[in-house]
């Protein structure tokens, strides 16, 4: 490994691979370390709502078109309260507000693009520690039972906030879990997405293929109970929670439960080290922002390294610029997502009215819904 130029990316998930690809496209030499020896993407039932901005980035990386379902309208409401807001692609002047894609499909597409690029991929290679230093970062790895150290000018941690146990600034348990699965209903989706806030958490139905992708956020014990119900009882409970507009539901595929936390890491991990994607911030999926934000982290870091043109991608001045440029987008997206959950996931009558007023205001104030839509589509700079 040529340490003088090498960039190591820890984690070959969607964010790590997007960064590797973006760096490779700009002529940088990159090595990706991925702990899994084979992709477990097919075991993951989650789908992701990709923003329009993410689609543009994936296009630039040459990873589009993908098998994804367009969203042309989003309806947001709350159970037991007034107020409802509609966001529409037409009003913002684009063909789709976003696209729904299987996490596994996105992972496979990015991994295939990385495989056919100049990126070196070390599969079955887990980083056990990352340390910064003046001249290079040191990544301790374990591969096929052997341990050794790798050196690089820059180590980017994109491990999804998993095994490396890096220090966190914020770690908040929402006391909620997301149950995800695919369903079909009597009513076709016509590319509409629905998000309904309930006191236990938001319930989202996203258009996915011929049916829906369900993200049902609720108390952890309730999510486990829903996951254990037989198919018919589960669909009856879903029908009661979602409302009558959909007709009868039928289950497609298996149910999977994800515990939900807000995790925010400190920016400066160590010299020559940087965190991106879920490693930097793990968000509640309420607004579908986690991957979209992580992809912007990856794309902006690659752009900055290329723009810098310098031989040292781990220079502290470059990393300081990255932290400064990403601060606003990251902070605003974390705050937006966290505030939605704190405001909507409770049953305080006064707050229910305030929420209703907020949703109603978004509908009646000229441009307010479009302002919100643009932020969800492009990030805070939209």
Ligand X SMILES: Cc1cc2nc3c(=O)[nH]c(=O)nc-3n(C[C@H](O)[C@H](O)[C@H](O)COP(=O)(O)OP(=O)(O)OC[C@H]3O[C@@H](n4cnc5c(N)ncnc54)[C@H](O)[C@@H]3O)c2cc1C
Should residue 46 be labelled a site residue for ligand X when binding is judged by CB under 6 A?
A: yes
- What is the C-alpha to C-alpha distance for residues 106 and 381, in angstroms, rounded to an integer? 25
Should residue 34 be labelled a site residue for ligand X when binding is judged by CB under 6 A?
A: yes
Given candidates 258, 271, 303, 308, which one binds ligand X under the rule CB under 6 A? 258
**Size of site (CB under 6 A) for ligand X:** 36
Spatial neighbors of 228 by CB under 8 A, at least 6 apart, are none
Spatial neighbors of 158 by CB under 8 A, at least 6 apart, are 9, 10, 11, 13, 15, 16, 19, 275, 276, 277, 278, 279, 294, 298
Should residue 158 be labelled a site residue for ligand X when binding is judged by CB under 6 A?
A: yes
What are the tokens at 92? 């913002």
Q: How far is CA 146 from CA 125, 132, 143, 244, in A?
A: 10, 22, 5, 57
Should residue 202 be labelled a site residue for ligand X when binding is judged by CB under 6 A?
A: no
N- to C-terminal Cα separation, the chain: 40
Segment lying near ligand X (by CB under 6 A), choices 11-19, 233-241, 312-320, 339-347: 11-19
Given candidates 35, 150, 156, 166, which one binds ligand X under the rule CB under 6 A? 35
Segment lying near ligand X (by CB under 6 A), choices 113-121, 157-165, 334-342, 350-358: 157-165
Residue 291 Cβ vs ligand X, minimum distance, rounded to whole Å: 3
Should residue 53 be labelled a site residue for ligand X when binding is judged by CB under 6 A?
A: no
Should residue 12 be labelled a site residue for ligand X when binding is judged by CB under 6 A?
A: yes
- What is the C-alpha to C-alpha distance for residues 20 and 245, in angstroms, rounded to an integer? 44
Per the CB < 8 A criterion, the answer to whether 185 and 253 are in contact is no
Given candidates 159, 182, 195, 300, which one binds ligand X under the rule CB under 6 A? 159
- What is the C-alpha to C-alpha distance for residues 6 and 313, in angstroms, rounded to an integer? 9
- DSSP 8-state class, residue 320: H
Segment lying near ligand X (by CB under 6 A), choices 44-52, 184-192, 321-329, 370-378: 44-52
Should residue 127 be labelled a site residue for ligand X when binding is judged by CB under 6 A?
A: yes
Angle among Cα 350, 352, 356 to the nearest 5 degrees reads 120
**72/292 with CB nearer ligand X:** 292
Segment lying near ligand X (by CB under 6 A), choices 27-35, 222-230, 261-269, 303-311: 27-35
Q: Interaction with ligand X in 269-328: which residues (CB under 6 A)?
A: 277-279, 285, 288-292, 294
**33/319 with CB nearer ligand X:** 33
Should residue 180 be labelled a site residue for ligand X when binding is judged by CB under 6 A?
A: yes
* Strand blocks (E) in the chain: 7-10, 30-34, 47-51, 69-71, 73-78, 84-88, 98-102, 120-123, 125-131, 137-143, 146-152, 154-157, 168-185, 192-198, 201-208, 211-218, 249-265, 273-275, 281-282
Should residue 49 be labelled a site residue for ligand X when binding is judged by CB under 6 A?
A: yes
- Measured on CA atoms in the order 8, 13, 15, 17, is the torsion positive or negative? positive
Should residue 101 be labelled a site residue for ligand X when binding is judged by CB under 6 A?
A: no
What 3-state class would DSSP assign to 151? strand
Should residue 154 be labelled a site residue for ligand X when binding is judged by CB under 6 A?
A: no
Segment lying near ligand X (by CB under 6 A), choices 154-162, 235-243, 312-320, 366-374: 154-162
**68/126 with CB nearer ligand X:** 126
Q: Which of 22, 30, 98 is nearest to 379 (CA)?
A: 98
- What is the C-alpha to C-alpha distance for residues 181 and 237, in angstroms, rounded to an integer? 14
Residue 45 Cβ vs ligand X, minimum distance, rounded to whole Å: 9
**81/276 with CB nearer ligand X:** 276
Residue 271 Cβ vs ligand X, minimum distance, rounded to whole Å: 20
Should residue 16 be labelled a site residue for ligand X when binding is judged by CB under 6 A?
A: yes
Segment lying near ligand X (by CB under 6 A), choices 7-15, 59-67, 353-361, 368-376: 7-15
Return residues touching ligand X (CB under 6 A).
Answer: 10-16, 33-36, 46, 48-49, 126-127, 158-160, 162-164, 178, 180, 215, 258, 277-279, 285, 288-292, 294
């Amino acid at each position: 490994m040529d340490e003088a130029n090498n960039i190591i990316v820890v984690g070959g998930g969607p964010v790590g691979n997007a960064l590797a690809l973006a760096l490779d496209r700009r002529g940088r030499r990159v090595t990706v370390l991925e702990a899994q020896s084979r992709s477990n993407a097919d075991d993951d039932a989650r789908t992701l709502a990709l923003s329009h901005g993410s689609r543009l980035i994936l296009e630039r990386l040459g990873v589009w078109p993908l098998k994804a379902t367009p969203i042309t309208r989003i309806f947001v409401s709350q159970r037991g309260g007034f107020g409802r807001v509609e966001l529409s692609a037409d009003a913002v002047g684009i063909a789709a507000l976003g696209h729904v894609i299987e996490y596994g499909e996105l992972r496979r597409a990015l991994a295939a693009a990385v495989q056919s690029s100049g990126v070196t991929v070390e599969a079955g290679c887990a980083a056990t520690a990352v340390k910064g230093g003046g001249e290079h970062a040191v990544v301790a790895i374990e591969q096929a039972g052997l341990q050794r150290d790798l050196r690089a000018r820059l180590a980017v941690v994109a491990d999804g906030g998993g095994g490396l146990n890096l220090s966190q600034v914020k770690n908040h348990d929402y006391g909620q879990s997301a149950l995800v699965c695919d369903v079909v209903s009597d009513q076709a989706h016509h590319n509409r997405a629905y998000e309904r806030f309930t006191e236990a958490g938001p319930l989202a139905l996203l258009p996915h293929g011929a049916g829906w992708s369900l993200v049902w956020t609720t108390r952890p014990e309730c999510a486990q109970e829903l996951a254990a119900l037989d198919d018919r009882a589960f669909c009856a409970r879903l029908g009661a929670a979602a409302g009558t507009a959909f007709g009868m539901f039928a289950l497609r595929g298996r149910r999977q439960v994800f515990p939900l936390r807000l995790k925010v890491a400190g920016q400066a991990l160590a010299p020559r080290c940087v965190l991106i994607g879920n490693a930097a911030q793990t968000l509640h999926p309420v607004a579908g922002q986690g991957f979209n934000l992580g992809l912007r982290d990856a794309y902006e870091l690659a752009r900055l390294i290329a723009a810098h043109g310098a031989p040292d991608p781990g220079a502290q001045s470059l990393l300081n610029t990255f932290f400064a440029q990403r601060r606003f987008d990251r902070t605003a997206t974390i705050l937006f997502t966290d505030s939605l959950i704190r405001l909507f996931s409770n049953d305080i009558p006064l707050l229910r009215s305030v929420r209703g007023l907020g949703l109603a205001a978004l509908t009646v104030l000229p441009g307010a819904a479009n302002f919100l839509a643009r932020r969800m589509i492009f990030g805070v700079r939209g």
